[in-house]
Amino acid sequence: MAKLKTKFACTDCGTESPKWLGKCPGCGAWNTMVEEKETVVKTQGQGSSLIQTKEKPLSIIHIDSGQEPRIETALQELNRVLGGGVVPGSLILVGGDPGIGKSTLLLQTSHALAVKGLTVLYISGEESVKQTRLRADRLGALTDTLYVLCETNMEQINEAIESVQPDFLVIDSIQTVYEPSVSSAPGSVSQVRECTAHFMRVAKVRGIATVLVGHVTKEGAIAGPRLLEHMVDCVLYFEGERHHSYRLLRAVKNRFGSTNEIGIFEMGEAGLREVSNPSELFLSERPLGVSGSTVVASMEGTRPVLVELQALVATTNFPSPRRMSTGIDHNRLSLIIAVLEKRMGMFLQTQDAYLNVAGGVKLDEPAVDLAVAVCIASSFRDAPTRPFDVVFGEIGLTGEVRAVSRAEQRVKEAQKLGFKRIIMPEKSLKGWSPPTGIEIIGVETVAQALAAALG
């Protein structure tokens, strides 16, 4: 007979406990344990039977190592992030803030694949088919082989997959789908885990490329158990500021490509538009001849991106000065300010320091350190930098400038956009020849960089 069992599961990491706990023993989060009920059916010989599989173990040298065939979409930025296109049978998880454009991106992708002759099934659990049609009219995504269904019951979804036999499947979103045999509510840890496992089996057995849309928490992480991100093949985050039209698609996990790639889009009335030259877009409104403004060459995956950094240093009357940054780690800003105070003799203890990355981009590589230091020094001394300078390099605690990777690609991107001078680490000049027509200044310390940029 079926027995009703009560347990408590963490909504962040999925840790289960037979009783309620204020603090999750798995991830340490507070007030995340929720009650769930499951039905346990005792069967004869349970635990002694093994799962029967038809496949037999193979020697690794006898396994075909051919490349996985990829399906290229019409969105080259999406192909870049995925590693060259969609892999058949892959399971992809897309997360992002509400209203950021996840459904728009996937509907445009579905239309692009349907135009190429593939059968696409778009299942929405949050919008009706009429609402989806209205968005498709606005985006111009109308194709005979693009099927739309509004359903959240897993059994009905299975029937739709059987009847349509799609090549590409979209589930929007995984938190709204529920399995009738699981007694917990949709969006709970048990439901999300069970439904994701089912779609993973569908993708692998039938060879259907499946995309799951995931909700995010207030902190920006994908809601549900951490197991969700481990089960899928690729995890994509759709990022962007509400007050900016730019959107960034970033891969944080990809079994079929690099995890450092980003795709840049611009949201418009007709949907998302690809940005082929993001450097020119981010520098289009850059002021010239103003102190506290510097251009940095940052690497996002295999793509060099030129972005403007803006700093403002102002006197404060409070005993503890403020350190605020947007787009760069706050701790990194404090470290660079400490280096300027100790090694350069700048008295910043009575100064508030504000740093902003123009365009809403997030930079997390150490090569932006030198540009941050030049920005802060420029604002502190009220001395503008040259308008056609590009600065990049990593700063050590002793004030030295360390080498960074892919310096040649950064220099070529700056030259392509018309910049005249590059201030970069001296050690990054080894192993390649700088192009003609652009001045390269190699520096070994922060003092040399400031003298070259502000002298």
Dihedral angle sign, alpha carbons of residues 184, 186, 189, 194: positive
Tell me which DSSP letter residue 360 carries: S
Instruction: Round to whole Å and give the CA distance between 198 and 171.
Output: 12
235: β partners: 93, 253
Say whether 100 counts as a known binding-site residue.
yes
One DSSP character per residue, 100-120 reads SSHHHHHHHHHHHHHHTT--E
How far is the C-alpha of 159 from the C-alpha of 189, rounded, in Å?
Answer: 24
Q: Does 183 belong to an annotated binding site?
A: no
> What are the distances in angstroms from CA 400 to CA 181, 340, 418, 455?
62, 11, 29, 19
Q: Which residues are CB-neighbours of 149 under 8 A, at least 6 positions away?
A: 121, 122, 123, 124, 129, 157, 160
Angle between helices 446-454 and 330-344 (to 10 degrees): 90
- Does the annotation list 98 as a binding residue? yes
The label of the residue with tokens 């080498």 reads 403
Residue 307 has phi, psi (to 5 degrees) of -130, 150
The structure tokens listed for 325 are 């940054």
For residue 7, the tally of other CB atoms under 10 A from its CB is 18
Nearest Cα neighbor of 370 from 342, 336, 338, 343 is: 336
Q: Is 416 annotated as a binding residue?
A: no
Q: Report CA 451 to chain centroid distance, whole Å.
A: 37
103 labelled as ligand-binding?
A: yes
Strands 234-239 and 246-254 turn out to be antiparallel
Q: Is 389 annotated as a binding residue?
A: no
H or E stretch covering 85:
none
Distance CA 262, CA 298 (A): 12
Residues 6+ apart with CB under 8 A from 27: 10, 12, 13, 15, 226
Structure token digits, residue 384: 């503008």
Q: Using an 8 Å Cβ cutoff, are 336 and 395 in contact? A: yes
Q: Which of 435, 440, 441 is nearest to 416 (CA)?
A: 435
On whether 97 is known to bind a ligand per the annotation, the reply is yes
Is 99 labeled as ligand-binding? Answer: yes
Annotated binding residues for ATP, as ranges?
A: 96-103
Annotated binding residues, as ranges?
A: 96-103
